[in-house]
Chain A
Amino acid sequence: MLDKKVLEAKSIYKTFTDPVKIDVLKDVSFTLDYGEFASIIGKSGCGKSTLLYILSTMDTDYKGELFIDNQSTYKKSEKELAAIRNEKIGFVFQFHYLLNEFSVLKNIMLPGFKSNKFTEEELEKRAMNLLEDLDIKKLAHKMAHQLSGGEKQRVAIARSMINDPIIIMGDEPTGNLDNKNTDIVFEIFNELTSKYKKTLLIVTHDMSFADKTNRIITMDDGRIVS
């Protein structure tokens, strides 16, 4: 179980042609094993976000091969990719991205509605447990827009966990938070790997954050350098 590959990227190339042709990713290859807590660091504009969008199956316009849970994503339909995203990947963004029209609890449950993996009661129970673990149970019935930035990010993490994904990806999830909240979020991520045995891939520009992770992937100008 431990040597199982959760994610594998094989020589990924990505080029933007608008406004001028730039090669953003060049021959990016790496694997993530089950239970790893990895961070990606690199200068601004080196292609970290671009890589993460490809790995999360949202961006399909690239060259190379991507395996998630040993399944190739090549030539999968939009619908199939959405299902992979829904069931296997949890995503945490820099700008928390909760849906303001819904309560905290509903926000967390929404991806679960799509997958039909759990019943509504199970989903609610899972969501409440996650909120309890993240120490924000009292927020469950607040509307998303009533929360502070740190609280929102914790809710977003809870949401990424709802379908019990195999990997959680984050694009600078602490980029917008103060030190105290950054520490809280890091502790939560740490717990996700230790307690829930989740695989984590977090883009960050915060070196002290990266230093605490198991593995640091360094990018420079579209390549993985270490």
Chain B
Amino acid sequence: MKVKHIAEISIALLFARWKQTLIAAIGVTFSIALFITLLGFMEGLNGLLDSLVLNRTPHIRLFNDIRPTEIQPIEISEKYKNHYNFIKSIKPAIARNQLHNVDAILNTLEKDNRVEGVAPRTLAQAFYSLGTIELNGMVNGIDVEKEAKYYSFADYIPEGNYMDLKNVANSIILGIGAAEKMLAKIGDVIIVTTTSGDQFPLKVVAYFQTGMADYDKVQSFVNISTTQKILGKSNSYINELQIKLKDLNNAPPIALEYSKIFKVDAEDIQTANAQYSTGSDIRSLISYAVGITLLIVAGFGIYNILNMMIYEKMDTIAILKATGFAGKDVKRVFINIALSIGAFGIIAGSIVGFLLCFMIDNIPFEIAAMPTITTYPIDYGINYYIIAGVFALFTTYFAGWFPARKASMVDPVVIIRGK
């Protein structure tokens, strides 16, 4: 039996009850559209929130934590070797957590093809002074080009040119919170006082704004050589290497590997930001659960209409079988009807879903934290359309399968005799 003829019979039956069929199809359309909109919006939001943190977070940080020496002198002493030594209130001896052999580490990382880039940092505790005001601050020495390349540094600069950090000597990019407090404008010179009392005049070339107020009040960025100068250290003095990997998911094992090879502390992004990805995952999970529930409900709609159709079309089914259609042919007719409703719903739903996403995408949404964001975020991923489509096909197939099986088992004799 030709597909064309099965289709012809399906369509005739479908149009005989076109109102109910349409309602079932609208049910699928609606659920597909909502599935796509819900996930597009939720994942867009997730992406936004994640990027707030993850984009500027290194995948692996290499540093030396300040900690007391593990082997205390008394344990080396011959005299007390066979004693139990109780030591209380151990204090770390090294003041600065410098990273040693940076050149060797950088060499190794450069050869590692899992690594996309490395940006060094040198941190200096300091005070910002402007007139009589003194504010607590943290001066981050960075390589601004690498920061821009690997950590979207430019996204957080609402005013000023970040490249001036490199081009203008003794320049600083102030957090917007600190700048407001100090009334420091671009072009102004502020004084940075180190913990050891030395003072450095630095010119404000730009502001940065991350959206995290506490961070923006305290942090500032200078060129790495400027921090080294402030601290009175050589140009090999680096506190931290921030590594960006090609695949962030490999961070935990690679971090472990590096900490063993380089004998440093290595922290991966997953450990550092566990709460963010958990939040995203749960939001995604809820969206999928709601979306899939909608699709299943639409499946019940199809199941209902088909069941109804089969009761109404008993005579038709009986006559098809009496004139030589096998149970299998009848089953194909009804599964065809279900799949047609599903296919219509998928196509219409995808279009409506896309339009809804497009509408949301154009609603203005401005937050201080994200100068580059002007409208609600939407993830237009084709994968949501595919998931919705595949799942809807499955649901409609199963919704059609049970009524179709029932139809295929109709005994024509019972129906014909019943007249």
Asked if A86 and B413 sit within 8 Å, CB to CB, the answer is no
Residue interface mask A69-86, B partner, CB < 8 A = 1: 000000000110011111
CB of A63 closer than 8 Å to a CB of B: no
9-residue interface stretch from B19-27, B119-127, B323-331, B341-349:
B323-331
Give the Cβ gap from A214 to chain B, nearest Cβ, in Å.
Answer: 26
Complex interface: chain B residues within 8 A of A113 (CB): 1-2, 5, 8-9
Closest chain A residue, CB of each to CB of B325: A114
CB of A15 closer than 8 Å to a CB of B: no
Across the interface, B326 reaches (CB within 8 A) one of A56, A79, A110, namely A79
CB of A146 closer than 8 Å to a CB of B: no
Interface residues of B in 275-329 (CB under 8 A from A): 315-316, 318-329
CB of A189 closer than 8 Å to a CB of B: no
Complex interface: chain B residues within 8 A of A116 (CB): 1-2
Across the interface, A87 reaches (CB within 8 A) one of B315, B324, B412, namely B324
Asked if A99 and B316 sit within 8 Å, CB to CB, the answer is yes
Give complex CA distance A98, B319 in Å.
Answer: 8
Asked if B316 and A101 sit within 8 Å, CB to CB, the answer is yes
Complex interface: chain B residues within 8 A of A110 (CB): 9, 320, 323
Asked if B321 and A97 sit within 8 Å, CB to CB, the answer is no
Asked if A93 and B1 sit within 8 Å, CB to CB, the answer is no
Closest chain B residue, CB of each to CB of A96: B319
Asked if A83 and B12 sit within 8 Å, CB to CB, the answer is no
Given known contacts A79-B328, A95-B419, is B322 in contact with A85 (CB within 8 Å)?
A: yes
Asked if A78 and B417 sit within 8 Å, CB to CB, the answer is no
CB of B13 closer than 8 Å to a CB of A: yes
Across the interface, A114 reaches (CB within 8 A) one of B318, B319, B329, namely B329
Complex interface: chain B residues within 8 A of A89 (CB): 324
Give complex CA distance A97, B175 in Å.
Answer: 84
Give complex CA distance A86, B322 in Å.
Answer: 8
Interface residues of A in 80-125 (CB under 8 A from B): 82-87, 89, 91, 93-95, 97-102, 106, 110-111, 113-116
Asked if A94 and B321 sit within 8 Å, CB to CB, the answer is no
Asked if A115 and B2 sit within 8 Å, CB to CB, the answer is no
Residue interface mask B176-188, A partner, CB < 8 A = 1: 0000000000000
Asked if A97 and B319 sit within 8 Å, CB to CB, the answer is yes
Give complex CA distance A97, B318 in Å.
Answer: 9
Give complex CA distance A114, B320 in Å.
Answer: 10
CB of B416 closer than 8 Å to a CB of A: yes
Complex interface: chain A residues within 8 A of B320 (CB): 99, 110
Using C-beta atoms within 8 Å of the partner chain, give the interface range for chain B.
20 to 34
Closest chain A residue, CB of each to CB of B11: A101
Asked if B412 and A58 sit within 8 Å, CB to CB, the answer is yes
Give the Cβ gap from B207 to chain A, nearest Cβ, in Å.
Answer: 72
CB of A49 closer than 8 Å to a CB of B: yes
Interface residues of A in 35-58 (CB under 8 A from B): 49, 53, 56, 58
Give complex CA distance A82, B320 in Å.
Answer: 10
Closest chain A residue, CB of each to CB of B329: A114
Give complex CA distance A58, B326 in Å.
Answer: 11
Closest chain A residue, CB of each to CB of B415: A97
Complex interface: chain B residues within 8 A of A94 (CB): 419
Complex interface: chain A residues within 8 A of B412 (CB): 58
Complex interface: chain A residues within 8 A of B355 (CB): none
CB of B66 closer than 8 Å to a CB of A: no
Closest chain A residue, CB of each to CB of B419: A95
Give complex CA distance A163, B321 in Å.
Answer: 15
Give complex CA distance A53, B414 in Å.
Answer: 10
Give the Cβ gap from A158 to chain B, nearest Cβ, in Å.
Answer: 12
Asked if A114 and B413 sit within 8 Å, CB to CB, the answer is no
Asked if B416 and A78 sit within 8 Å, CB to CB, the answer is no
Give the Cβ gap from A25 to chain B, nearest Cβ, in Å.
Answer: 14
Closest chain B residue, CB of each to CB of A82: B326
Complex interface: chain B residues within 8 A of A58 (CB): 321-322, 412-413, 416
Closest chain A residue, CB of each to CB of B412: A58
Give complex CA distance A93, B327 in Å.
Answer: 21
Asked if B324 and A114 sit within 8 Å, CB to CB, the answer is yes
Complex interface: chain A residues within 8 A of B1 (CB): 113-114, 116
CB of B213 closer than 8 Å to a CB of A: no
Give the Cβ gap from A130 to chain B, nearest Cβ, in Å.
Answer: 15
Given known contacts A86-B324, A114-B324, is B416 in contact with A101 (CB within 8 Å)?
A: no
Give complex CA distance A58, B410 in Å.
Answer: 11
Give complex CA distance A87, B413 in Å.
Answer: 19
CB of A59 closer than 8 Å to a CB of B: yes
CB of A159 closer than 8 Å to a CB of B: yes
Given known contacts A91-B322, A95-B419, is B413 in contact with A101 (CB within 8 Å)?
A: no
Complex interface: chain A residues within 8 A of B323 (CB): 85-86, 91, 110-111, 114, 159
* 23 A-B pairs in the complex with CB atoms less than 8 angstroms apart: A53-B413, A53-B417, A58-B413, A79-B326, A79-B327, A82-B321, A82-B325, A83-B326, A84-B324, A85-B322, A89-B324, A93-B416, A95-B419, A99-B12, A99-B320, A100-B316, A101-B13, A110-B320, A111-B323, A113-B1, A114-B325, A116-B1, A116-B2
Residues of B that sit less than 8 Å from A by CB: 1-2, 5, 8-9, 12-13, 15-16, 315-316, 318-329, 412-413, 416-417, 419
Sorted from nearest, which 4 A-B pairs have the closest CB atoms? A86-B324, A113-B5, A82-B326, A101-B12
